Amino acid sequence: MRILFILTYYRPHVSGLTIYVERLAKALAQRGHAVTVLTAHYARHLPYEEMLDGVRVVRAPVAFRFNKGVFMLSFPAVAWREIRSHDVVSIHLPQVEAAVATLLTRLAGRKPLLTYHCDLQMPPVWYGKIVDRLTFWDNLVAGKLADTIVAYTYDFASHSPFLSRFLGNTSAGGQGRRGAGAQGISPAPLLPRSPTKVRVILPPVVIPDPTPEGMRALRERVGLREGQKAIGFAARFAYEKGADYLINALPYILHELPNVRILFAGPYGKDVIGETIWDDLQPLIKRYEPSLTFLGTLSQAQMADFYAVCDVVTVASINNTESFGLVQVEAFMCGTSVVATDLPGVRQPVTMTGMGEIVPIADAVGLAGGIVKVLQNPVKYVKPRGEITRMFELARTVDEYEKLFEEKRS
């Protein structure tokens, strides 16, 4: 098949959405499909077209950028050319080009397939709500025109203002919150009673095995002392990720466990497009500087060592711009438990595996309590890697996408 993915940002940009598409695109290319990614030329040093890991990447020129949004005046022409030369078009939301891309896909005689990663919620700036609403209505048009919409979980889909519009009536029970530390797999997800455009496919998770050498090198790099506990945070340093709540949780954690360090893995400061939270939090960061270490962007192998070095990983996200948290499963596969906020979708990895605690949203004290609970009784939350890998197997995700694409190919 000739498969086209359309999204705003792709590599080398780092986000859950770009990592998701990168993993899926590479896996499909390895299976012999001709895969193209159409994205924005968001940085001047990037080529307009190149091959990355067997995937053809086409970047449309950007006229100007506003916060995280890019404006590509030639996007319709470039998209029309690429859509007509592919059998399947997979459009990844949220993005402001969604309606145009979906309409062009229909006009070209293709069936538009959407993957909805999260609800957009801008930081609290004066124009934030305007951007949120404009993007929502643009994406809603795309949803109306789409043939199928892929979601990560029914838990998130049933709570999302966007996805819930396309989800039929659901049966009782399912993917709500479940007690932490529970054994085995959670109850069946919410299942629609009536036909729906929404199809649930668990996201692609890939992480190598951590190595003793890599773990030792990381410990030396950050200066972890003997017996010191490491709390991990693996995400862009962005408003919605809740880094401020994690830092504010530190005094409560130190009261119970005085020998801890928070390790931040992921881009921060000027490396995060459209974010000011790094500058806003400088007074807080300086106050707790001895207990904070910022590692920046790590390679996939380094991330495996990072997870294994950490005694617990946190997902402190505060709104529906987080719909799952791939880092949770990556941490599980490296033997590390997670403390995650009680957001729809985000609570699912812990709910499904029992490898952690679920805590209130935007609550530093509650977050601290969950972290302390896990650190004080780590054995309770450990599951074999094989059990986790079977639950979140990459091949299963790729199989389900491949099946969907075969069904809808033109």
* 212-391 and 2-152+201-205+392-408 share a CATH fold: yes
Domain ranges of the chain: 2-152+201-205+392-408, 212-391
How far apart (Å, rounded) are the C-alpha atoms in residues 48 and 42? Answer: 10
User: How many whole angstroms from its chain centre is CA 165?
Assistant: 22
**pLDDT given for residue 180 in this prediction:** 41
Say which amino acid occupies 332: F
**pLDDT given for residue 257 in this prediction:** 96
Tokens of 81: 């050319």
229-234/260-265 β-pairing: parallel
**pLDDT given for residue 148 in this prediction:** 96
Q: Which of 207-211, 235-239, 336-340 has the lowest mean pLDDT?
A: 235-239
* SS3 call for 223: coil
Q: Which of 172-186, 310-324, 351-365 has the lowest mean pLDDT?
A: 172-186
Of 322, 320, 315, nearest to 355 by C-alpha is 315
Q: Which of 159-163, 187-191, 284-288, 379-383 has the lowest mean pLDDT?
A: 187-191
**pLDDT given for residue 202 in this prediction:** 95
Q: What is the CATH number of domain 212-391?
A: 3.40.50.2000
Architecture of domain 2-152+201-205+392-408: 3-Layer(aba) Sandwich (3.40)
Using one digit for the tens of pLDDT, what is the confidence trace for 21-78?
999 999 999 999 999 999 999 988 999 999 999 999 999 998 877 666 677 889 999 9
Percent of the chain at pLDDT exceeding 70: 90
- Note whether 112 and 102 are within 8 A (CB): yes
Q: What is the mean pLDDT of residues 143-166?
A: 95
Q: Which segments within 235-352 are labelled E, that is strand?
A: 260-265, 292-296, 312-315, 338-341
Of 68, 86, 63, nearest to 8 by C-alpha is 68
How far apart (Å, rounded) are the C-alpha atoms in residues 261 and 290? Answer: 8
